Structure 1
Amino acid sequence: MVALFVVSAQAASGKTTVATGLGRQLLGEGKKVGFLRPTVGGKPSASLTGDAVFVQQALGLAEDVKLINPSLDGGKTLADRAREAYIEVSQNKDVVIVEGYCGPTPEDGDSKSAYEIARALKARVIIVENYASGQSAPQYMDSYLGFGDNLLGLILNKVPKQALKRTCEELTSKFTGSEMRILGVLPEERALVSFTVGELAEQINGEMLNNAEKSVALVENVMAGAMCVDSGLDYFGRKNNKAVVVRNDRPDMQMAALETSTRCLVISGGGEPIDYVRFKADEKGVPIITTRNDADTVIRHIEDLLDGTRFHQEKKLTRLAEILKSNLDFQAIHKGLGLST
């Protein structure tokens, strides 16, 4: 039995996404997988607990979420508390995936805690880091190298597709044979940072007027009709699976949006759509959401939703599996964990 510690020095790097994807891959290979997301320095927040619940469901875990997402605060040493939490979730498992943070420098308190947990569990460590424009090396190399012999390698996440090949070639060439092995370069994928129509309606305090059954549809892009200077059809045709925000006094733009790939139409400024907009939306199966907020406020609320989007939709798992299969060095990961395939 082995521990795999998935770590990042960045918020929203995709640790939970990668941990879930790796867990599902190992389950598909017949391995028994556990999960642990310990919190150091306080109780788990609601968002962290929500992530733990999702991973629990995605991996089909029988353990209670309190065991999966424990606080490691207490009178004993951090190493002892980490081992105790690990023992709780590792019974009859082949691999336990542990998720955590490190700091931007080796001296940071989060880094020291992460190093201690890795040593206590004798875990192999995979780093997940977001791509930065023109990146030729991990941003927090010194912090990551602090894991020493526990370090298995790095996964670079959210790389723009046009930069994917170049980034992969440059990083792989630069770090071949070094302490920092590149295990994968993952493309930016809008479908993995999407949210549902229902989540959008809740975020903007909107009312869904029709097609309520479409509230679970995933929104991958957002467009604002007020920003359109081109033909409405040409403009809205640039992005698929989108939410479109249009003022209530622009039925022409509302109709144009409905002629393209639109997940929902958000009408700002209060009031209901005119009859032929409502008829077209019903015909196309597109939900209309109305809100009293102006368009700028709606866009700000949606940006907040995008910033906080977490990996909680079952529909995303199939696409995630495809991305990992195409872009991760699973052979190196298996070898590093001492697992047969």
Structure 2
Amino acid sequence: MPTILITGPAGGGKTSFAYGLLARLRDAGRSAAYCKTFSPTPGTDDDHAFAAEVLADALGIAVGPSPRPLDGDVAEAAAAIAELRRQHDTVIIEVADGSPVAELAAAVDARVIEVRAYTAGQDWGVAADEAAGHWGARLDMLVINAVPPYRQDIVSEGEAESWAEVDALVIPESRVMLAPTVAQIGEHLDAVWPLEPVNADAIVERFLIGGNIMDNGPTYYGRYHNQAVITRAQRPDIQLASMLPQTTCLVLTGPGEPTEYVKAEARERDIPLLQVFMPTIEAAEALDHLIDTATPHSLAKVRHYAALLQQHAAPDWLIG
């Protein structure tokens, strides 16, 4: 595959797509490199940092130099990409809003993938025409991210002429991609770790308040996977009952500390413990806006998005 440049509006899912595509390429046995060429925060860009610090080792990819400022030199960026291209089968370039995208695409002769988030009421036939008109023959695909289940047929609904000129990939919305990690929950709540942190990268899709229930533990706490249970620190009975394979972590609230027995069970099962010194309801309310802070910087999310690509994208495009 030639050099691929991923562009699109902010918040559309460019980074998730780039990471997922890298994982699919590596699964197919292709050598791959990632390069974010320009950034509004070049010295502290989180996307580049996660790729360099986590994905380079986990996926076995190469990562290009740190991003340049948005008004950085295109020739320098192109030279760095050319060096990566000489050593790897595929180079994935991610570009930020406000950077010289068209100039860079021409300089490295890249195929372009435009990634956009689904928006209700958007005429996607018009969007396809706009993308084709802007990129011409360089446009490889228009990706529509986070599409609700009832709109999965968006490409085939009365817009055949528009789509005839543009390949489209519809990626369904996913609870996993919006889920925080255990570490992000701890940071958001300013929590302490009663034990050494474990599985901090694990994702949490649901929060469940542990209380006095009529059902037994497995019946109540075994309904959902990837859940965090919020309960008082002084309720070891609830804590132990909730330590099931479905539970990702426990958030302990209020005064006191978990008992040694609870700590021992948590260690044995590799279940993270977070503690916040506030009432249970207050802790639950503090999590209300956590979804707004979700990022793609999780290996579990990278693997999940790669699985979405495997399911919804044509295999010959991904590895051809």
TM superposition score normalised by structure 2: 0.76
1:37–1:299 Cα change, 3 Å: farther
The alignment partner of 2:153 has SS state of: helix
Tell me, yes or no, if the aligned pair for 1:44 and 1:69 is still in contact at 8 Å. Answer: yes
Query: Residue in 2 aligned with 1:20?
Result: 19
CA distance in 1, matches of 2:17, 2:304: 12
Query: Residue in 2 aligned with 1:183?
Result: 168
Identity of aligned residues (%): 26
Structure 1: give runs of 5+ residues left out of the alignment: 103-109, 335-340
Query: Residue in 2 aligned with 1:147?
Result: 135
2:67 equivalent to 1:69: yes
Structure 2: give runs of 5+ residues left out of the alignment: none
Cα RMSD of the aligned pairs, angstroms, is 3.9
Query: In structure 2, what residue type is equivalent to 1:90?
Result: R
1:277–1:170 Cα change, 3 Å: same
CA distance in 2, matches of 1:240, 1:140: 37
2:293 equivalent to 1:308: yes
Query: Residue in 2 aligned with 1:120?
Result: 107
Task: State which of 225, 239, 244 in structure 1 corresponds to 2:229.
Answer: 244
2:286 equivalent to 1:288: no
Query: In structure 2, what residue type is equivalent to 1:225?
Result: I
1:20–1:175 Cα change, 3 Å: farther
CA distance in 1, matches of 2:317, 2:96: 23
1:49–1:292 Cα change, 3 Å: same
CA distance in 2, matches of 1:150, 1:252: 61
The alignment partner of 2:86 has SS state of: coil
Deviation for aligned residue 1:138: 7.3
Query: Residue in 2 aligned with 1:83?
Result: 78
CA distance in 2, matches of 1:299, 1:144: 43
CA distance in 1, matches of 2:24, 2:108: 22
The alignment partner of 2:162 has SS state of: coil
Deviations 1:180-217 (A, max 9, x none): 6343222333444444434433442323335x474346
Query: Residue in 2 aligned with 1:168?
Result: 152
2:6 equivalent to 1:3: no
CA distance in 1, matches of 2:39, 2:297: 23
CA distance in 1, matches of 2:42, 2:154: 41
Task: State which of 201, 217, 226 in structure 1 corresponds to 2:186.
Answer: 201
Query: In structure 1, what residue type is equivalent to 2:10?
Result: Q
2:113 equivalent to 1:129: no
Tell me, yes or no, if the aligned pair for 1:43 and 1:71 is still in contact at 8 Å. Answer: yes
Q: Which has the higher contact order (CA 8 A, sep 6+)?
A: 2
Tell me, yes or no, if the aligned pair for 2:48 and 2:66 is still in contact at 8 Å. Answer: no
2:311 equivalent to 1:326: yes
The alignment partner of 1:34 has SS state of: strand
Tell me, yes or no, if the aligned pair for 1:7 and 1:99 is still in contact at 8 Å. Answer: yes
1:187–1:114 Cα change, 3 Å: same
Query: In structure 1, what residue type is equivalent to 2:32?
Result: V
CA distance in 1, matches of 2:308, 2:283: 32
2:248 equivalent to 1:263: yes
CA distance in 2, matches of 1:316, 1:171: 26
The alignment partner of 1:91 has SS state of: helix
Query: In structure 1, what residue type is equivalent to 2:49?
Result: G
Deviation for aligned residue 1:121: 2.6
CA distance in 1, matches of 2:41, 2:258: 48
The alignment partner of 2:199 has SS state of: helix
1:47–1:255 Cα change, 3 Å: same
1:62–1:168 Cα change, 3 Å: closer
CA distance in 1, matches of 2:17, 2:249: 29
Deviation for aligned residue 1:47: 1.7
Tell me, yes or no, if the aligned pair for 2:194 and 2:275 is still in contact at 8 Å. Answer: yes
CA distance in 2, matches of 1:219, 1:310: 11
